[in-house]
Structure 1
């Protein structure tokens, strides 16, 4: 399959949400909207006790924002709407009453690091290096920053946000708290993710719901915060510097 998609399957209490885009699993606005909707609906589905979030194919987990859409943003409102797509997905993950397990099989960039950070428990392969590349194109990880900082701390987030041209290894991300485990290959990763999800399904759903709410205490203002951050990114994407930089991707 080469067309972009977001799918969800449910089996034995596990809801598996998978997103895909042929451009290294980048995330255009329509995929972001569908992803946020799917996560929200999975949270309401009583048959689902735990959620696995994954991307399609076996290479890049997520390349972040769609450069094709970034290039075509010509006004602040369009920019705000686009970056609000990432905000909506992160907020959907934050408010979802089910634990979300991240399954990161390969490199993840920009908004993809935000998605991994917004999961409740994230596992990866040794190939799952991370990079916050936004400063490279003249923007900055404003929308995903709160989720990344919450997961790995301000110091580590500052390091990768400023050093925007470097991939940091999966082992580095594990040591900073983004990943809980790093595996040799996708087969080992999938075995571990599936076994862990199945084990979580044996727990009290009410207890897991209350634990999730407790873990995310202090983020209740993120609906407003991430919307404000989307405005900043929407403004910066119109800057002369960013426009000239994005032309390289045409």
Structure 2
């Protein structure tokens, strides 16, 4: 179901112990703050739902998986408080994914930019199509991927994070992302993607939920400081977005 609402849409469907969360926005499935808040709330709720063993995170449509944070909202930031709040959106979602007691499968059907790469990195297992190229373009507008960096680095290491961040204008293809460990499996078509997601989700849902939950804890060991770390990073981005450089760069993009 596509959405034209300016704050986007979020639907959760629970069947056979699998919760499928689908988000959407007419601007390439980007995230305004309100939609990030809704996703955070939904993940926290599912974490404590005994009817759910595994989560599938997906986005609407055939094209982009996620274009990151809302550009319109980014442009309208006028003070530090707004800036911190805006960048805290992805910080809160990543922390909710990290602390969610259920394993999260990411279904990535297309291009993914900025915060979208952070979402993919915060999933526990990612299946993607060949069209799922990734890019961290934050430098081009005078900011950096500070909030999502810990999640991306955890999956692809400092070298991968560095390559993605510094080469801010280039797309890396899905096979690069797989080689680096961001994607677990890459398939050709969306039909194959849906099939793979379904098979994996059903297998996981058939396992001992307590074992899954304990494994989730093991996978995320060493990230206990992220609540504070990501909040600090949101402040860094919140300051940078107010800089003259960024204001000029955003104005150019807007044209």
In the superposition, the TM-score normalised over structure 2's length comes to 0.97
* C-alpha deviation, 1:249, in angstroms: 3.4
Matched with 1:36 is: 40
Say if 2:215 is the partner of 1:208.
Answer: no
Equivalent of 2:167 in 163, 166, 170: 163
Matched with 1:180 is: 184
Q: Which consecutive residues of structure 1, in runs of 5 or more, have no partner in the other structure?
A: none
Could you report, residue by residue, the CA deviation over 1:159-201 in whole angstroms, capped at 9, with x for unpaired residues? Answer: 1001110000000000000000001011000000011000001
Matched with 1:22 is: 26
Indicate if the aligned counterparts of 1:134 and 1:164 stay in contact, CA closer than 8 A: yes
Matched with 2:120 is: 116
Could you report, residue by residue, the CA deviation over 1:109-149 in whole angstroms, capped at 9, with x for unpaired residues? Answer: 00000000000000000000000011111000000000000
**Counterpart secondary structure, 1:168:** coil
The range that moved more, 134-143 or 2-11, is 2-11
Indicate if the aligned counterparts of 1:76 and 1:235 stay in contact, CA closer than 8 A: yes
Matched with 1:77 is: 81
Equivalent of 2:60 in 32, 51, 56: 56
Q: Which consecutive residues of structure 2, in runs of 5 or more, have no partner in the other structure?
A: none
Matched with 2:130 is: 126
**Counterpart secondary structure, 1:100:** strand
Say if 2:238 is the partner of 1:228.
Answer: no
**Counterpart secondary structure, 1:245:** helix
**Counterpart secondary structure, 1:214:** helix
Question: What is the number of equivalent residue pairs in this alignment?
Answer: 250
Could you report, residue by residue, the CA deviation over 1:38-86 in whole angstroms, capped at 9, with x for unpaired residues? Answer: 1111111110110000001110000001110010000011000000000
**Counterpart secondary structure, 1:26:** coil
In the superposition, the TM-score normalised over structure 1's length comes to 0.99
Matched with 1:90 is: 94
**Counterpart secondary structure, 2:90:** helix
Moved over 6 A (4+): none
